[in-house]
Structure 1
Amino acid sequence: MTHPLVYQDAWKRTTNACKSLNMDLRDILTQDVDDHDRPWVLFETASSSEDRLGLGSELYQETGQIWLHLMAPRGTGALSYIQNLAVLAASFRTPTTTQGLTYLAHHADPPNSDTTGNWATFSLAVDYEFQTKLSQ
């Protein structure tokens, strides 16, 4: 399960990047079904593992990914969205103030040309590692 401190830090970074790009940001539960008239970003998290650092340890470690899906209208060209994805990625390269949280590798997933519909998805996964005491 994604720790709330990880979610809050990643959401804040993504919010700031989206503001600089003049894009709306939605999480998986606030995305709407209305038609969008401009690009937007969908925010998701995925924890891959969580456990104590050792038998009897008070330290907890979680690893996972922050997923950002930049939704772009088809027929508008890819370059500007690749540049926007780079801005989103850069927002996770600055030091974090959340103790125990480290952002690691970034993985970009371009749109699939076989996908139909009016929107193409440029996805970015940001790996993270988080360590804290079990009581926090």
Structure 2
Amino acid sequence: MLSVIVWNDAYARASLAAEKQGIPLVDVLMRPPEDRPPLHWRMEAQTSRSERFATGEEFMEEEGEIALHLTMRVGRISTPDALTHCTAMSVLFRAQLDDALPWPEGLYYDGQSLYPPDPDTTGNWISMSLMIRYRYQDRLTAS
């Protein structure tokens, strides 16, 4: 299950990178496709799972992937420029920069994968996707 701490940290990092690039990070629940700019980032949680470290243990470990999609109208950006934007986004999940939030305790970004656009994609929109793997360790708390 995706925790709020993971989502909020990833969204804050992605927002900072997007702002530096001058490309909006769109909340897809708040902005319908027809109202999105021709070049934007969107973020979603992919797979995530969590379980206790051991039976009866009060510590949980969650792991999963955050997907950041550089979404563009066809003809708006070249592949080298899109790769440059993806690399800049990637950096904020690999290094603790001065202007980024400190890492939340127990959150680790482990690795990344980049999926270039499918050259056979039809339609007006195309995406390049940056997948960021994470682990989050947390103590169970009573609600």
SS in 2 for 1:34: helix
Mapping of 1:60-71 within 5 angstroms? Answer: 60-71=60-71
2: CA distance between counterparts of 1:112 and 1:3? 31
1: CA distance between counterparts of 2:95 and 2:32? 30
1:94 aligned residue:
95
Instruction: Tell me, yes or no, if structure 1 residue 7 matches structure 2 residue 22.
Output: no
The one-letter code sitting in structure 2 at the alignment partner of 1:106 is: Q
Mapping of 1:1-136 within 5 angstroms? Answer: 1-75=1-75, 76-95=77-96, 96-135=102-141
After TM superposition, the score normalised by the length of structure 2 is: 0.88
SS in 2 for 1:42: strand
CA separation of 1:19 and 1:91: change in aligned 2, threshold 3 A:
same
1: CA distance between counterparts of 2:139 and 2:35? 44
SS in 2 for 1:115: coil
Q: Please report the RMSD computed on the Cα atoms of aligned residues, expressed in angstroms.
A: 1.6
Partners of 1:72 and 1:81 within 8 A in 2: no
In structure 1, runs of 5+ residues without a counterpart are: none
Task: State the aligned residue count.
Answer: 136
CA deviation after TM superposition for structure 1 residue 119, in Å:
1.8
Instruction: Work out the percentage of aligned pairs sharing the same amino acid.
Output: 29
CA deviation after TM superposition for structure 1 residue 77, in Å:
1.8
CA deviation after TM superposition for structure 1 residue 117, in Å:
1.3
1: CA distance between counterparts of 2:52 and 2:36? 43
Once the two structures are superposed, residues 10-69 of structure 1 have per-residue CA deviations (whole angstroms, 9 ceiling, x without a partner) of 000000000001111123312422254431011101243210000111101000001001
In structure 2, runs of 5+ residues without a counterpart are: 97-101
After TM superposition, the score normalised by the length of structure 1 is: 0.92
1: CA distance between counterparts of 2:59 and 2:94? 25
SS in 2 for 1:28: coil
The one-letter code sitting in structure 2 at the alignment partner of 1:45 is: A
2: CA distance between counterparts of 1:38 and 1:22? 13
SS in 2 for 1:55: coil
Partners of 1:47 and 1:62 within 8 A in 2: no
SS in 1 for 2:34: coil
